[in-house]
Amino acid sequence: MEYEIKISDDYKYYINDIEINESIFDDEKVEYFIKEREDFIDTLIDWIGDCGRDRENDKNLMKEDLKMLINRKEKFLFSSISTNNYVFSDDEDFNSICEEILKLNGELTKDKRIKEDC
């Protein structure tokens, strides 16, 4: 299956037009967070500028990430919450990450409906 990611103007996340419950990301229920590539490039530039001399290794890693992100064309990516690993739509893990998020989203939606019915 092919998955499409969108972020609305009010920063709601969608996979295949299904709105994703923000608590999946806020509560770190998955390893990856959806990022808009160009916004994340801006964030990396800020982080690099904030790095002091005592963080040269971090700064160099961020510069490498920045170079890689600039050369990509995708609008969205998955960024790991614990490492500097990125997953793009042409990566092997992309579909499984989308499926995991959609599964968790379905469970949360089901739980919410059950609570509302009580």
Instruction: Give the C-alpha distances (Å, rounded to integers) separating 80 from 14, 35, 37, 72.
Output: 18, 10, 13, 17
Write out pLDDT tens, residues 22-71: 999 999 999 999 999 999 999 999 999 988 888 888 899 999 999 999 99
- The domain in which residue 89 lies consists of 5-117
- pLDDT score at 85: 93
Helices 56-71, 37-50: inter-axial angle, 10-degree rounding:
160
**pLDDT score recorded for residue 110:** 72
Q: Per-residue pLDDT for 3 more than 80?
A: yes
The whole-model pTM stands at 0.84
**How many separate domains does the chain show?**
1
* Measured distance CA(109)–CA(5) in Å, rounded: 19
9-16 average pLDDT score: 94
Mean pLDDT of 14-23: 95
